[in-house]
Amino acid sequence: MNRMMTGERLRKENLAYGGTGGVSGGNRAASFIPAFCDTATGRVEPSRLADGTPAPMHLLVGLPREWVVTRGDGNEVLAVKTTVVAGFLHAGEFYTRDQAAQAIALH
């Protein structure tokens, strides 16, 4: 899947993983933190609000400037690099949505 990460893509992923540990509501109790990983570099960033505080869900607004490829008229982040994927941080490790869903299903 070589598409840019957008708000619409995040919504579709949330629908696809609804009811599983692949969404924040399904894994928060197990201390999973919404995050993004640039698969080209391995850099992982927790999801953040515009002011830099941790976000309770996946948001594009707090991602590193160099990941952003499209901004709106109000400077809002509309899309980030195709190599960025949504997932979670847990105990210092990045989990894709699939991996998080599987980890939660095992517990």
Predicted structure pTM score: 0.94
pLDDT digits (tens, 9 = 90+) for 9-35: 999 999 999 999 999 999 999 999 999
CA dist 76 and 9 (Å) reads 16
CA dist 77 and 68 (Å) reads 7
pLDDT digits (tens, 9 = 90+) for 51-84: 999 999 999 999 999 999 999 999 999 999 999 9
